[in-house]
Chains A and B, each alone.
Chain A
Amino acid sequence: MTSPMHLASDSALVEWMMAGDENALAALYDRYSGMLFAMLVRILKDTGAAEEVLQDLFLQLWRSASRYDSARGSLPGWLLVIGRNRAISRLRTRVRYEVQEDGETFSIENVASPGNMEDEAWRAQMMNRLRDAMAALPGEQREAVELAYFEGMTQTEIAARTNTPLGTVKSRVRAAMQALKQVFDDGTTRQPGRS
């Protein structure tokens, strides 16, 4: 059943969560769980583990809603970054890297959303275009990006895994991200439903 709150903005739902409204959390879950679960399953390759991370992520959202500042970044951006971070930490049982979680807060810098991620149509369009763009990348470039993003490997680890010089790994990642940049740029200039 569609939540009666499904039309509300993320920031309104977060405010309602702060007031203790569980329906607001349920609405945010309905909005973003599919997107996040897909990423978590891809990283963890285990639906049970992905479900646990997904549940913990929304539980953290509920507990720390009062610390969310929409001016500092988008909610789906926060969910994607922290979700990936947790999944990779779990996958590799290693210390967190790159994004500092700063305890149980929303304090992550520079995770502003480049598009209208609250809009489901925009997300669906972006997913399709990204998948097409990834499929169109030369195999070694796609592999380098996927090993970094979905397996959390460092450049040194990718070089060792693929038996490739470090400089080549860097160039491949750079070339792949430049090719994807066009998709991102188009996505941010053509945003259905952006207000």
Chain B
Amino acid sequence: MERHVNPEDPDLYALGALDGQDKQDLEAHVRSCAACAQELAAARQRVMLLGLAASPVRPSPAVKARLMEKVRAEEGSRSARPVVEPPARRRRFSLLVPLLGACAIFFAMLAGWLWQRDLRDANRIAFLQSRLAQTEAQSREIAHAAEETDHLLGMPGTMRAALNRMPGMTAGRVGVLYNAKMGMVAFAGWLPAAPPDKSYQLWLVPMKGAPMSLRVFSAGEWNGTMMTHVPPGMEAKAFAVTMEPAGGMPQPTGPKVLVGVPS
């Protein structure tokens, strides 16, 4: 009969309390025993929930404020970060040196060339991976928004707004579907890349109260479909896209570039 781990050990392991030989034995065993691996997975779930046993305490609102400040600062420095080019190959020494020196230089140059090639390849791979991840994320977002848009189109009370270009805006178009009762907004279209240090920002202008930001378009040209929620019951007077400082503003400050009235 197959010998399994001690019945206590999965819980102890999941708690981080198993140590010494017991820990090594369990780790070795679960690699080849599906039943014990399953028991360990269940133990991890139980242990994870133990975190809920602590008495509730709310963090100070300042923690969230600091977090969001850091995120904005990171985003700002990320967009302002200069592109780092690989250093140029150095050719400092003449070929008129003793043989050993020449060999050393040759191998140094060879290593440098290989290093540069690896760096270029690594950069290219990283770039392609990031583009792929971006594309996948956009595809998922578009698929999600498309499903929601279909749903929205079929709901009574859904209004449409085609946003028209204002003077000075030569390109870009955005259409909005809005259901006030459900608090759902779907928007689709295309916006060119905003000028440096600027972002386009989409707003819902309600009948009463201040405009509500729906989206900040920060990363270059935008072409897609998106979905967002607002508090239900808010009647919309208009939708507008403005040009704001990079990262967007809590309230519109810049010129309107696209405006549309829902009907």
Is B249 an interface residue when CB atoms closer than 8 A count as contact?
Answer: no
Known: A51-B63, A81-B48. A149 touches B141 (CB 8 A): no
Q: Which of B15, B48, B59, B137 contacts A148 (CB 8 A)?
A: B15
Residue of A nearest to B7 (CB): A174
Interface centre among B13, B49, B58, by most A CB within 10 Å? B49
Q: Mark A33-61, 1 if CB is under 8 A from B, else 0.
A: 11111110110000100110011001100
Q: Mark B108-148, 1 if CB is under 8 A from A, else 0.
A: 00000000000000000000000001100110110010000
* Contact between A131 and B12, CB atoms less than 8 A apart: no
A-B contact count (CB 8 A): 183
Report chain A residues within 8 Å CB of B19.
154-156
Q: Which of B11, B40, B54, B229 contacts A39 (CB 8 A)?
A: B54
Report chain A residues within 8 Å CB of B231.
2, 4
Known: A15-B141, A149-B15, A170-B12. A177 touches B64 (CB 8 A): no
In the complex, chain A residues 57-106 whose Cβ is within 8 Å of any chain B Cβ: 58-59, 62-63, 66, 77, 80-81, 83-84, 88, 97-99
* Contact between B228 and A42, CB atoms less than 8 A apart: no
Is B101 an interface residue when CB atoms closer than 8 A count as contact?
Answer: no
Q: Which of A55, A84, A180 contacts B67 (CB 8 A)?
A: A55
In the complex, chain B residues 7-27 whose Cβ is within 8 Å of any chain A Cβ: 7-9, 11-20, 22
Q: How far in angstroms is the closest Cβ of chain B from A41?
A: 5
In the complex, chain A residues 124-140 whose Cβ is within 8 Å of any chain B Cβ: 126-127, 130-131, 134
Report chain B residues within 8 Å CB of A112.
41, 45
**A184 CA to B14 CA in the complex, in Å?**
15
Report chain A residues within 8 Å CB of B41.
110, 112
Known: A110-B40, A177-B11. A22 touches B16 (CB 8 A): no
**A18 CA to B218 CA in the complex, in Å?**
12
Residue of A nearest to B64 (CB): A29
* Contact between B63 and A33, CB atoms less than 8 A apart: yes
* Contact between A130 and B52, CB atoms less than 8 A apart: yes
* Contact between B229 and A158, CB atoms less than 8 A apart: no
* Contact between B137 and A66, CB atoms less than 8 A apart: yes
**A2 CA to B232 CA in the complex, in Å?**
12
Report chain B residues within 8 Å CB of A2.
231
Q: How far in angstroms is the closest Cβ of chain A from B120?
A: 23
Q: Mark A1-33, 1 if CB is under 8 A from B, else 0.
A: 010111110001001101111100110011001
Report chain A residues within 8 Å CB of B14.
98
Give the interface size class of chain A: 35 or more
* Contact between A15 and B144, CB atoms less than 8 A apart: yes
* Contact between B52 and A4, CB atoms less than 8 A apart: no
Report chain A residues within 8 Å CB of B168.
none
Q: How far in angstroms is the closest Cβ of chain B from A157?
A: 8
Known: A4-B228, A131-B55, A158-B17. A26 touches B68 (CB 8 A): yes
**A60 CA to B44 CA in the complex, in Å?**
22
In the complex, chain B residues 52-89 whose Cβ is within 8 Å of any chain A Cβ: 52-60, 63-64, 66-68, 70-72, 74-75
Report chain B residues within 8 Å CB of A5.
228-229
* Contact between B68 and A180, CB atoms less than 8 A apart: no
In the complex, chain B residues 197-240 whose Cβ is within 8 Å of any chain A Cβ: 212, 215-216, 218-219, 226, 228-231
Report chain B residues within 8 Å CB of A80.
48-49, 51
* Contact between A97 and B16, CB atoms less than 8 A apart: yes
Q: How far in angstroms is the closest Cβ of chain A from B10?
A: 9
Report chain A residues within 8 Å CB of B137.
15, 18-19, 66
Chain A residues proximal to chain B, CB less than 8 Å? 2, 4-8, 12, 15-16, 18-22, 25-26, 29-30, 33-39, 41-42, 47, 50-51, 54-55, 58-59, 62-63, 66, 77, 80-81, 83-84, 88, 97-99, 110-115, 123, 126-127, 130-131, 134, 145, 148-150, 152-156, 158, 170-171, 173-174, 177, 180-181, 184, 187
Give me the 5 closest cross-chain CB pairs, A-B, nearest first. A174-B8, A42-B54, A148-B17, A39-B51, A148-B15
Question: What are 14 inter-chain pairs, A to B, with CB distance below 8 A?
Answer: A5-B228, A19-B137, A20-B218, A22-B71, A34-B58, A41-B57, A51-B63, A66-B133, A80-B51, A83-B51, A98-B16, A152-B16, A155-B17, A156-B20
